[in-house]
């Protein structure tokens, strides 16, 4: 992607986030339901329409487990079934913290057991089933319903387009990632916020000496450690290229930065065995000073933790090419409509109606209100804590906004890098060996 295109994408996302944070006077009008309109005309046996046939749909999403939008999503589904009594929805969910959800989606797609609607990543993760024709391009469906299409922010639809212009999925909320810090812990211990690498190292050493976990992160599910290390060390251009061409030595520099932090005592003693959920809990319980996560993490915080937290960009490792103000963000997931469902005359119209309901302004508002994400529609999100407002401000001031690097390489490639994190930080393997192994897998998957 050229500099001009990336700048346009970043500016578009900032524009969307600012609009979302500020709200809209028209944001609470609600979405049209797909239920038949009520009339006052008398009904007789002769004029009474036959009851619609029962329809069962399966919706797969990651709005489950401890996801802060779990209850909001269930509410949105119930709104649809209340308006359509003939419809039964199998709410098939897995936590996004469980990497098994990737395996499940791809196994279902490959075996012909795909859900009618699937909420999944946009990018490399979905490339296989998109190219296999398992899901439907949504351009024509959007164009045929201007009220629905106009309810979704045009900048969002532009951001999720495929290179050929096709829109394969529709997002609900976007995200940003950064370093969440417990500013109360910093203040109580007279430690400066980690706004640069030197201050980060100083904070790590100080908290470790006091028995407080400096950075709560796991080694296996090390998505956010990897993403931020690569982006800030290599810069947005190199991050965007991923592992095409020669390996950028600054990727190695970023991963070696994690080794340096480990040697200073940055991570939990059980980092090799905990998962993302446990890492979050350490921060939520006040046992950790910092957490590298996404905007969705705010929804799981108690009011006290929200009050004590802010979010800042991850610092640049010395010698890195990042600006110090580059962040990860975007609209990384959306709803896909199965081609098999589209071809089923008994399901097609109901599935499309459900897709429209799930991505309506009202539903987007409901979900965004609960998970702290940036809504894909121009709706008002009220009552957000200061940490969420800090996140919106961070995005609006960012020098660049890049989508997550794991969406720019095959899942197998990224899993390989993850598997090397513990050996890298402990000195059993080198960052160079990790990237060379990942590069071989990425080249083999082309």
In this structure, the answer to whether residues 284 and 362 fall within a common structural domain is no
CB atoms within 10 A of CB 86: 12
Q: Is residue 240 in a domain?
A: yes
The answer to whether the CB of 38 falls within 8 A of the CB of 357 is: no
DSSP state of 38: P
Q: Is residue 41 in a domain?
A: no
Q: What's the whole-model pTM score?
A: 0.75
Q: Is residue 36 in a domain?
A: no
Q: Is residue 127 in a domain?
A: yes
In this structure, the answer to whether residues 321 and 418 fall within a common structural domain is yes
Measured CA to CA in angstroms, residue 401 lies from 175, 226, 328, 331 at distances of: 11, 16, 6, 11
Q: Is residue 223 in a domain?
A: yes
In this structure, the answer to whether residues 90 and 189 fall within a common structural domain is no
- β-strand 326-330 against 400-402: which pairing, if any? parallel
Per-residue pLDDT of the chain (446 residues; tens, 9 = 90+): 444 344 444 445 554 554 454 444 433 333 333 444 434 444 445 456 677 899 999 999 999 888 889 999 999 999 999 999 999 999 999 987 777 888 999 999 999 999 999 999 998 889 999 999 999 999 999 999 999 999 999 989 988 998 899 999 999 999 999 999 999 999 999 999 999 999 999 999 999 999 999 999 999 999 999 999 999 999 999 999 999 999 999 999 999 999 999 999 999 999 999 999 999 999 999 999 999 999 989 988 999 999 999 999 999 999 999 999 999 998 989 999 999 999 999 999 999 999 999 999 999 999 998 887 889 998 888 888 999 999 989 988 999 999 899 989 998 999 999 999 999 999 999 999 999 999 999 999 87
Q: Is residue 22 in a domain?
A: no
Residues 6+ apart with CB under 8 A from 181: 193, 194, 289, 290, 309, 310, 311, 312
Q: Which of 361, 387, 413 marks a domain boundary?
A: 387
In this structure, the answer to whether residues 157 and 249 fall within a common structural domain is no
Residue 92: helix, strand or coil by DSSP? strand
**CA nearest neighbour of 372 among 52, 37, 69, 39:** 69
In this structure, the answer to whether residues 99 and 137 fall within a common structural domain is yes
Residue 292: helix, strand or coil by DSSP? strand
Return the CATH number at 410: 3.40.190.10
In this structure, the answer to whether residues 352 and 416 fall within a common structural domain is no
In this structure, the answer to whether residues 296 and 403 fall within a common structural domain is yes
Measured CA to CA in angstroms, residue 258 lies from 203, 282, 361, 393 at distances of: 15, 19, 41, 27
Residue owning tokens 């999720």 = 160
In this structure, the answer to whether residues 423 and 274 fall within a common structural domain is yes
In this structure, the answer to whether residues 323 and 337 fall within a common structural domain is no
In this structure, the answer to whether residues 200 and 343 fall within a common structural domain is no
In this structure, the answer to whether residues 260 and 150 fall within a common structural domain is no
The answer to whether the CB of 210 falls within 8 A of the CB of 341 is: no
In this structure, the answer to whether residues 376 and 417 fall within a common structural domain is no
Geometric angle at alpha carbon 373, from 372 and 377, rounded to 5° = 120
Q: Is residue 295 in a domain?
A: yes
What is the Cα–Cα distance from 132 to 13, expressed in whole angstroms? Answer: 29
| Tally of domains within the chain | 2
Q: Which domain holds residue 272?
A: 176-329+397-444
φ, ψ of residue 174 to 5 degrees: the values are -100, -175
């Amino acid at each position: 992607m050229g500099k001009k295109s990336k700048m346009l994408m970043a500016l578009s996302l900032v524009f969307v986030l600012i609009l979302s944070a500020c709200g809209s006077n028209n944001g609470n009008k609600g979405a049209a339901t797909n239920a038949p309109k009520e009339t006052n005309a008398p009904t007789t046996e002769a004029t009474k329409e036959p009851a619609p046939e029962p329809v069962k749909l399966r919706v797969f999403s990651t709005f489950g487990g401890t996801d802060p939008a779990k209850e909001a999503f269930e509410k949105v589904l119930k709104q649809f079934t209340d308006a359509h009594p003939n419809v039964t929805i199998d709410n098939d969910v897995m936590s996004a913290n469980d990497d098994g959800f990737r395996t499940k989606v791809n196994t279902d797609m490959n075996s012909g057991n795909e859900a009618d609607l699937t909420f999944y990543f946009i990018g490399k993760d979905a490339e296989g089933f998109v190219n296999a024709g398992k899901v439907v391009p949504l351009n024509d469906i959007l164009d045929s319903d201007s009220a629905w299409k106009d309810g979704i922010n045009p900048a969002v639809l532009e951001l999720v387009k495929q290179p050929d212009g096709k829109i394969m999925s529709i997002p609900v909320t976007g995200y940003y990632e950064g370093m969440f810090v417990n500013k109360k812990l910093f203040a109580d211990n007279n430690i400066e916020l980690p706004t640069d690498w030197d201050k980060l190292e100083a904070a790590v050493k100080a908290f470790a000496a006091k028995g407080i976990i400096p950075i709560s992160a796991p080694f296996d599910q090390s998505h956010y450690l990897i993403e931020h290390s690569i982006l800030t060390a290599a810069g947005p251009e190199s991050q965007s290229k991923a592992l095409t061409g020669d390996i950028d030595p600054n990727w190695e520099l970023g991963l070696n930065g994690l080794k340096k932090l480990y040697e200073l005592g940055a991570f939990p003693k059980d980092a090799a065995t905990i998962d993302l959920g446990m890492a979050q809990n350490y921060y939520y319980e006040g046992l950790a000073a910092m957490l590298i996560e996404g905007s969705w993490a705010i929804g799981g915080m108690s009011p006290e933790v929200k009050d004590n937290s802010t979010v800042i960009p991850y610092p640049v490792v010395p010698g890195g090419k990042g600006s110090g103000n580059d962040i990860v963000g975007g609209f990384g997931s959306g709803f896909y409509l199965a081609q098999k469902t589209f071809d089923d005359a008994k399901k097609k119209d109901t599935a499309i109606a459900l897709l429209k309901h799930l991505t309506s302004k009202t539903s987007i508002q409901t979900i965004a209100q609960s998970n702290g994400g940036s809504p894909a529609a121009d709706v008002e999100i009220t009552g957000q804590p200061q940490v969420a407002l800090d996140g919106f401000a961070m995005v609006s001031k960012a020098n660049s906004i890049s989508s997550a690097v794991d969406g720019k390489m095959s899942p197998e490639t990224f899993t390989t890098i993850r598997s090397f994190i513990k050996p890298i930080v402990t000195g059993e393997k080198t960052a160079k060996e990790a990237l060379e192994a990942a590069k071989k897998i990425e080249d083999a998957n082309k």
